[in-house]
Amino acid sequence: MSTTMRPKASLKKSIQRKREEVDLTAIRLTTESYFSPDNTLPLIIQPAIEGVNLANWASNNLDYIREQLAIHGGILFRNFHLDSAEKFENFARTIGNELFDEYGDLPRENPGSKVYGSTPYPADKSILFHNESSHMHRWPMKIFFYCVKPAEKGGATPIIDCRKIYQQLDPAIIKKMSEKKLLYVRNFVNGLDVSWQQFFQTANKAAVEAYCRRAGIEYEWKENDQLSTRQLCNAVSRHPHTGEMLFFNQVQLHHISCLDASTRDSILSMFDEKDLPRNVYYGDGSPIEGAIMDEINALYDQLAVRFQWQATDVIMLDNMMVSHSRDPFEGTRKIMVAMAEIISQDELPSIQYCGQ
């Protein structure tokens, strides 16, 4: 009996030694592709073999991920079977280090977590293009979206390369917006959009005022405990790492003319222009012409990249390079969000328009 077992044991040890001798660095764990050869946004990374742990792979390939993000602006991680909010948060933290947990415009997924739910907005309406928090004094350099459940119909998250917007938009518009900047006006109206208490995460007016002073936000308290804010921001910025020029703002999301006709008419029937929940002007307070907004909207439509979500998809965007939106949808849809690498307006390289 013992003589017949020894060869088997020896064979088993031999196989184990062979496995231990395999150089795992020589095994290609992922593949790269695009949705179409003429558009490299986003880069799609998928596992080449079954069972690749996304967070572990990312921790061993951080330089590669950062290089590819700087080139493409966005990376879609597909078929890694990320099956929980905790795993998503762990992956985002692996790349982004410390995740942002002071965001008042999105609902938090769970108390204590640094993952948010997507914008609570009517399913039959579009959320227009924007770079996250570009209407504020600071914003995340990286933003991650994780698909728990795709909608039964629609619900894409269109994305746009902001370098292309800068390069292809009429230079006269770029010049005017570069020089004048943008003034974002926000009136926090109870029951319409988030409240100022939710946004600033406090009910203490003195704390809100102190925050606004630090952030360079003009504020005014109005009747019925309402708050109005005004924030001056750039419309065009230079990327702090690559040096590329970007059309970086929330002009489409905030401008009243960009809303669909029924929503716009409804809001204008309830509020004077100065009291609109959100609007944006040139930095001197003058209105942005409708013709200019039409041209911006047309270019956004032309350059938008859409793809259908699959469950467990994660897309990581350079928030300055890439603007995002949301299409209307039917059924149920659940997308989670994480943000990382907060940067402030005064950390950006200075720019002076000198033509394209």
**Looking at residue 35, which CATH number applies to its domain?**
3.60.130.10
Name the band, by pLDDT with cuts 50, 70 and 90, for residue 13.
very low
In terms of C-beta distances under 8 Å and separation of at least 24 residues, what long-range contacts does 46-55 make, across chains too? 46/77, 46/78, 46/79, 46/80, 47/79, 47/80, 52/80, 53/80, 54/80, 54/82, 54/87, 54/91, 54/314, 55/87, 55/90, 55/91, 55/94
User: Considering the domain boundaries, does residue 9 fall inside one?
Assistant: no
Q: What residues contact residue 305 under an 8 Å CB cut-off, 6+ apart? A: 35, 39, 41, 42, 158, 159, 160
For position 146, what pLDDT does the model report?
98
For position 281, what pLDDT does the model report?
98
User: Considering the domain boundaries, does residue 81 fall inside one?
Assistant: yes
Provide the 8-state DSSP code for 211: H
Provide the 8-state DSSP code for 274: G
Mean pLDDT for all residues in the chain? 90
Does residue 292 have a pLDDT over 70?
Answer: yes
Query: Structure tokens of 21?
Result: 């001798």
Q: Which residues of 278-303 are buried (b: 16+ CB within 10 A; e: fewer)?
A: bbbbbbeeeebeeebbeebbebbeeb
Query: What is the reported pTM?
Result: 0.89
Fill in the amino acid letter for 290.
Answer: G
DSSP for 68-92, please give it.
Answer: HHHHHSEEEE-SS---SHHHHHHHH
How crowded is residue 266: how many other Cβ atoms within 10 Å of its Cβ? 12
Does residue 107 have a pLDDT over 90?
Answer: no
Structural domain including 69 reads: 27-347
Name the band, by pLDDT with cuts 50, 70 and 90, for residue 355.
low
Q: Phi/psi of residue 262, each to 5°?
A: -70, -40
Percent of the chain, pLDDT > 70?
88
User: Considering the domain boundaries, does residue 1 fall inside one?
Assistant: no
Indicate the SS3 state at residue 253.
helix
Percent of the chain, pLDDT > 90?
77
User: Considering the domain boundaries, does residue 106 fall inside one?
Assistant: yes
Name the band, by pLDDT with cuts 50, 70 and 90, for residue 341.
very high
Longest Cα separation, the chain = 95
Please give the tally of structural domains in the chain.
Answer: 1
When pLDDT is averaged across residues 34-56 and rounded to a whole number, the result is 96
For position 118, what pLDDT does the model report?
87
Q: Phi/psi of residue 155, each to 5°?
A: 80, 20
Indicate the SS3 state at residue 58.
helix
Peptide bond into 42 cis (omega under 30): yes
DSSP for 292-338, please give it.
Answer: HHHHHHHHHHHH-B-----TT-EEEEETTTEEEEE--EES--EEEEE
d(CA 261, CA 267): 10
Quick one: which H or E segment has residue 348?
none
Provide the 8-state DSSP code for 284: T
User: Considering the domain boundaries, does residue 133 fall inside one?
Assistant: yes
> How much of the chain is helix, strand and coil, in % rounded to 5?
35, 25, 40
When pLDDT is averaged across residues 52-81 and rounded to a whole number, the result is 97
User: Considering the domain boundaries, does residue 17 fall inside one?
Assistant: no
Q: Provide the H-helix boundaries in 30-116.
A: 54-59, 62-72, 85-96
For position 300, what pLDDT does the model report?
98
> Higher-confidence residue: 353 or 126?
126
d(CA 182, CA 279): 10
